[in-house]
Amino acid sequence: MKYLKMACLLLLAGLFLFTSCAGLQSTSKRQLHEPEAFKENKNPPVDFYVKHDCWKSPFNPHDVLQYWVKVGAQQLNPVMVLVIAGNPKINWKHRYQPGTDPTKFAIPEGEIASAVVFIFVKTPLNTVELVAFGYNDDLGVQNMYVWDKESNCYIRKLIPKQQSSCLSN
């Protein structure tokens, strides 16, 4: 039940962050630091979190974390971190300005998203879990995938405002 409440909280946080994740900057008083391996852009194996092998998204989220460009990271609370990975086909060094939303960048041709937002949580067992990830796709739809403990898979969750528009169409 506690994990379900945490997942709901993360879903709400993800909704908020999709609309206002511009200008992410690292904070100086972090409590769940991103690993050094992720700070370097040399594509080492990303092994700071527990990887789950099931996802219902059109891409492997673990590969995105390893091969895409880290655009930003922010400590949300003592046990939760948000990381944004940008599509490597975008020249982030020259195009990204603080205060802009990386999920709203033009999506390169043939790609599904310009950036993917990841939410990591430190669990009571002292492990770090990827509990949710999301992106704005090339059709303008916000996609959110949340770890479902029962099915052992990242499953797609409908975002409420889109859910009502999908039902009306």
pLDDT digits (tens, 9 = 90+) for 40-70: 555 566 778 989 999 999 899 999 988 898 8
Summarize pLDDT for 99-148 with one digit per residue, the tens. Answer: 778 888 888 888 889 999 999 999 999 899 999 999 998 888 899 999 99
pLDDT grade, residue 94 (50/70/90)?
A: confident
DSSP 8-42: HHHHHHHHHHHHH-TT----SS-SSPPPHHHHSSS
Q: How far apart are CA 31 and CA 79, in angstroms?
A: 7
* Neighbour-count burial of 48, counting CB atoms closer than 10 A to its CB (0-12 exposed, 13-18 middle, 19+ buried): middle
